[in-house]
Amino acid sequence: MNLSFCLESAGVLQLALAVAHFWFPQRFDWKGDLAKLSLLNRQIFVVHCLFIVLVLVLFGCLSLFWSQLLIEPNRLARLVLGAFTVFWSLRLYVQWFVYDPALWRGRPFETMAHLCFTLLWGYFVLVYAWALSRQFA
């Protein structure tokens, strides 16, 4: 498999994940849950979600449209790829060791989502770590 293609596909997946965030409020009944929060906490939650979407769009665009610049050996590419590898490695860790397994165990849809997200975060880690390793070859 071609590294450029993998970076670009990671970009597409991150953009798709950003778009999926607009479906999350309905799927997870955020309106009902957020109504129980104070105004400040409700607004902090919404702002944080918007910034997560922004980060996904930025990561996705960089990977999709500038994959060749990430492949070319240079200090900036090493820094960006290292940051992406750390970011997605931490997200993978959170998937298994921060979220309570009671949220997905014994629940078919949630178990499938948990496994799909594990594969997605793992794919991002592998792609960015592979690209980072090529920086030092």
Give residue-wise pLDDT tens across range 66-122.
999 999 999 999 999 999 999 999 999 999 999 999 999 999 999 999 999 999 999
The two tokens of residue 29 are 């009944």
User: What's the pLDDT at 7?
Assistant: 98
CA angle (19, 17, 35) in 5-degree steps: 70
Please say whether the beta carbons of 49 and 107 come within 8 A.
no
* pTM beyond 0.85, yes or no: yes
User: What's the pLDDT at 87?
Assistant: 98
CA nearest 11: which of 51, 72, 50, 56? 56
Distance of CA 94 to the CA centre of its chain: 11
Range of the domain at 16: 3-135
Task: Specify the number of domains making up the chain.
Answer: 1
Q: Encode pLDDT of 27-76 as tens digits.
A: 999 999 999 999 999 999 999 999 999 999 999 999 999 999 999 999 99
- Dist. CA 114–CA 100, nearest whole Å: 11
CA nearest 136: which of 73, 82, 86? 73
% of the chain exceeding 70 in pLDDT: 100
